[in-house]
Amino acid sequence: MGQFTGKTAIITGAAGGIGRATALLMARGGASVVVADVQAGAEETAAMVRDAGGRAEAVVTDCATDAGVQGIVARALEVFGAIDILHANAGITGGLMPKLDTASADFMEVMRINLLGPWIAIRECLPHMGQGGAIVCTASVAGLRAGAGPIPYSASKAGVVSLVQTTAMALTGRGIRVNGVAPGLIETPMTAPLFDDARARGREDRIGQLNPLRRGGQAEEIAEAVAFLASDAASYVNGQVLAVDGALSAQLPFTPKWSL
């Protein structure tokens, strides 16, 4: 506790799920948080932070437009006077199933929100970040290998992995770190249909069955990884994407031939 005292964090996609969990965790660690989302739930997240004794400001805007992100940055500077941490987290799936007939406009909307959005956030925050600044992007195991998500989503998250690596290199000598997290199957509003369907069909025990932990993850578990990467505890971690997926991405496909 207290590892973020005196720091200001911008968190996009904070109306729920991973973004909300990260905002609450960082605020408990002493950060002032600016929570942004196109959904009004960002206001609820800010209220939750304040109710817990933290400092928060909400911005309801499109986090993948120049004007939207410029507004977030302006609010952070106006209210808290600094930007030390960015968690570029906003994203959409664009549908849960692979489709070979995805329309160009639908494909590009996923790319806009999932890949262009983090880039705009990084670009707009950088002029206001000094030595010791930390950027964490939310990628996905779907961006590491095939089989974990629909095609546009997977391609966009692969782009986020590259964005982390190339931006970290471009910032050589600036003392600003850029890392990412690659969540596996995490229970969030975005994945709620999968979890709800499994439970409705009495197949809850199959959630996460492909990873060795045999379960899905929780948003709070990803928030812990984000907080680590954003903290001074990770001061020598840079240009990395940390998979938080129960070891799903550590293996090749196989059929278990043993029982517990």
Q: What is the pLDDT of residue 258?
A: 56
With vertex at residue 25, the alpha carbon angle to CA 37 and CA 86, rounded to the nearest 5 degrees, is 50
Structural domain boundaries in the chain: 8-185+219-243
- Return the exposure string of 6-27: e unless at least 16 CB atoms fall within 10 Å of the residue's CB, then b: ebbbbbbbbbbbbbbbbbbbbb
Residue pLDDT, tens place only, 160-219: 999 999 999 999 999 999 999 999 988 777 766 766 666 777 777 777 678 888 888 999
Confidence tier at 121 by pLDDT (50, 70, 90): very high
pLDDT at 132: 97
Between CA 173 and CA 5 the distance in angstroms is: 25
Which residue of the set 20, 94, 153, 223 is catalytic? Answer: 153
Supply the DSSP string of 176-217, one letter for each residue.
Answer: -EEEEEEE-SEESTTTHHHHHHHHHTT-GGGTTTTSTT-S-E
- 36-40, 110-114, 146-150: range with lowest mean pLDDT: 146-150
Predicted local distance difference test score (pLDDT) of residue 29: 98
Q: Quote the pLDDT of residue 200.
A: 75
pLDDT higher at 252 or 3: 3
8-state DSSP, 113:
I
pLDDT digits (tens, 9 = 90+) for 13-71: 999 999 999 999 999 999 999 999 999 999 999 999 999 999 999 999 999 999 999 99
pTM of the model: 0.93
pLDDT value for 206: 74
**153 flagged as catalytic:** yes
Q: What is the pLDDT of residues 75-111, one digit of tens each?
A: 999 999 999 999 999 999 988 777 889 999 999 999 9
Q: How far apart are CA 172 and CA 9, in angstroms?
A: 22
Q: What is the pLDDT of residue 254?
A: 66
Q: What is the pLDDT of residue 96?
A: 72
Domain 8-185+219-243 of CATH type 3.30.70.380: no
